[in-house]
Structure 1
Amino acid sequence: MARMSRREMNELAADREKCAARSERNAESGRQAANDPSLPKTTRKQAAAAAMFAERHVQEYREEAEALRDGRIPGEDW
């Protein structure tokens, strides 16, 4: 497989930042639902779990974007 060009890596990094922003919005929505007393307890617990996963995704997307901007392929150096 051919190595990605610097332009392709930067484009993918920008996409990963967009994904991180979307996951941040999802995490915030989950946190709000988790703290909404009008929702059933089970729904609030599920929302809290969803927020946790979304927060993890934010971190992963940002790490991938950083690696790409540094000229590395995410996962190659693991």
Structure 2
Amino acid sequence: MARPFRAEMRAMAEQSERAAARSAAAAVDGDRAANDPSNSPTLRAQAKAAAGFARRHAEEYREDAAKLREGYLPGEDW
């Protein structure tokens, strides 16, 4: 596989940042559902877990974006 050009890597970084924003918004929604007393205890526990996963995904997307901006591919040894 050919290495992407810098412009392509910047575009990939922007995509990762957008994905991070979506995941962060999902975490906020999960937190809201987890703290809503009108939801069942099971639903609240599931929402809390989902919010945690979404936060971790957002962090991973931001890390990938940073690597791409530095000229590295995510998962690439450097």
Q: Same fold (TM over 0.5)?
A: yes
Gaps of 5+ in 2: none
- Which 4+ stretches in 1 moved above 2 angstroms? none
Distance in 1 (CA, whole Å) between partners of 2:27 and 2:48 is 9
TM-score under structure 2 normalisation? Answer: 0.98
Distance in 2 (CA, whole Å) between partners of 1:25 and 1:75 is 25
Distance in 2 (CA, whole Å) between partners of 1:77 and 1:42 is 41
Q: Which residue of 2 aligns with 1:49?
A: 49
Distance in 2 (CA, whole Å) between partners of 1:57 and 1:75 is 15
Q: Deviations over 1:14-48 (max 9, x none)?
A: 00000000001000000000000000000000000
Matched pairs, number: 78
Aligned-residue CA RMSD in angstroms? 0.8
TM-score under structure 1 normalisation? Answer: 0.98
Report how far residue 77 of structure 1 moved.
Answer: 1.4
Distance in 1 (CA, whole Å) between partners of 2:21 and 2:59 is 10
Identity between Structure 1 and Structure 2 (%): 56
